[in-house]
Amino acid sequence: MRNAKMMAGTAFIVLAAQTQAFAQEDATACKGKVPTLNVIAQGMPAVTALDEHLGEFNEKWGTEVKITLLGENERRAKSRLDASTGAGSYHVIYIDEANLAEYVSADWVYPLAEVVPKEYDISDFRTDLSNVATVDGVQYFAPFVGGGDVMMYRKDILEEKGIDVPTSLDELTAAIKATNDPDAGRYGWSARGQRGSGMNVWRWTPFFRAKGGEWLKEKQPVFNNEAGVEATELYIDLMEYAPPGVATFNWSDSVEAFRGGQVAFLIESDVFGPWMEDEAKSTVVGKVGYAPPPDPLPSAGWAHGWAVSKVGADTDCERAAAGDFVGWATSQEMEQKRLAAGIASDIGRVSTLQSDAYKALVPAEYIEALLATSEKTSLLIMANPAWPEIGDNLGLVLEELFSGTRDDVKSALDEAAFFAEDSLARVK
């Protein structure tokens, strides 16, 4: 038995050494052969924090990493255009839960294990994020940020009004109305109103699901049913208690309104929790409580990460350099460096969540809320290659309803569902 263990251990060490040697060999053989490594990304803290470390990667591969930063919708549009036209300008693409199905079905990205060296330990990625990055059992992108939803609330306002932390949607609705005080520049609620599958649709979907909504029935869109109408009406009602301009708010507007002290309740992606505790930018440090979204609201699972483009990285050296970049940029070491720089919002690895450095940076209450919300986190959007189109079009009619351009909820959703039928037919 002891011998077997020793043999297994030896085999593991040899394998690890071989893998390491292979990666080194790749870097040596390809050094200088990829003059520029083009990366498309969104300006998340995990991305912008890479800037000061890029020198070491450039040195290793004799390359220059160029990261193009774009807003979410623009990033999605540009990377899709790049892959679909065969332009292949980007070796590494930023990918997320909304467009993964499309990218996999179009065969635009490599499976992660095929391109990322083993030394970067893919198994250490958080399971909830890896699940979002996986299609049919194959993981395609390395997640560095993601999670689910958390309800953030102003403890001081709730205390002043004598309101308990809501545990149901009805209680939340009542609390939002009770804390709304526009004359004092304080609003009960904020949410995303701006069109987009990753914008208003993303925040509306938990309400839709809470009402029992399903996207498809017998492969036909049914989100224009009673659940869709009820969810939309409730969302519109809550927007009455939100800051002016909420009909076109994106996530940034909403988060800034909350940490600017204008809002009592906000249900947003859990990564924004640490943003509230940033003393340089937040006016509500120490005043924010964190809890899972009240029942029956589910939590919208999401993940953003990097994948290697088959269209952009089509030579062995490009693939090796791009794969190594993805592994390096999402490694345990990089996450620890971010924590050392005070960035606690973008965590993709289990080992980082368990580290003392992480626990020192965020309130214990936030970690408790994270753990509690993970049980109700799942992918709530339609997992279909046509989703970006369907979601964006649904987002458009929702924005029309939120802004008052139209007021017939049922007919607006009917129109979006009709459009979705067309989109789904094209996929077939």
Partner 1 sequence: MTRKPFAALSLAPAIALLAMLAIVSVGGAIWLALMNRTLRSPDAEFVGAYNFLRLLRDRRFFNALEISVIWELFTVAGTILLAVTLAILIFETVKKPIWRNLLCFAFLVPVLLPRVAAAFIWRFLYSPSLGVINYLLGLVGIGPVEFLADPSLALVSVAVVDIWQWGLFFTVILLKLLETLPRDPIEAAMLDNARTWEIHAYVTLPMLKGPIISLVLVKAVESLRSFDLIFVMTGGGPGTATETLDLYAYQMGINMGGRISYASAMSILLLVVTTIAFTIIWKAGRRWAN
Q: Which residues bind partner 1 (CB under 8 A)?
A: 73, 76-77, 80-81, 84-86, 102, 105-106, 185, 193-195, 243-248, 257, 260, 262, 385-386, 388-389, 392-393, 396-397, 399-400, 402-406, 423, 426-427
Q: 300, 236 in Cβ contact below 8 A?
A: no
Quote the least distance from Cβ 384 to partner 1, whole Å: 11
Based on CB atoms, which residue is closest to partner 1, 261 or 363?
Answer: 261
* C-alpha 67, offset from chain centre: 19
Q: 357, 378 in Cβ contact below 8 A?
A: no
Quote the least distance from Cβ 203 to partner 1, whole Å: 16
Based on CB atoms, which residue is closest to partner 1, 185 or 342?
Answer: 185
Q: 310, 108 in Cβ contact below 8 A?
A: yes
Based on CB atoms, which residue is closest to partner 1, 9 or 182?
Answer: 182
Q: What is the spatial distance between Cα 357 and Cα 155, in angstroms, rounded to a whole number?
A: 26
Based on CB atoms, which residue is closest to partner 1, 328 or 402?
Answer: 402
* Residues whose CB falls within 8 Å of the CB of residue 387, separated by 6 or more in sequence, listed in order: 98, 99, 101, 102, 197, 381
In a 3-state reduction of DSSP, which class is residue 94?
strand
Q: 146, 343 in Cβ contact below 8 A?
A: no
Based on CB atoms, which residue is closest to partner 1, 32 or 404?
Answer: 404
* Backbone dihedral angles phi then psi of residue 54, each to the nearest 5 degrees: -60, -30
Based on CB atoms, which residue is closest to partner 1, 343 or 394?
Answer: 394
Q: 272, 246 in Cβ contact below 8 A?
A: no
Q: 27, 60 in Cβ contact below 8 A?
A: yes
Quote the least distance from Cβ 116 to partner 1, whole Å: 26
Quote the least distance from Cβ 398 to partner 1, whole Å: 9
Quote the least distance from Cβ 48 to partner 1, whole Å: 18
Beta-carbon count within 10 A of 272 CB: 20
Quote the least distance from Cβ 9 to partner 1, whole Å: 48
Quote the least distance from Cβ 77 to partner 1, whole Å: 5
Based on CB atoms, which residue is closest to partner 1, 59 or 74?
Answer: 74
Beta-carbon count within 10 A of 333 CB: 10
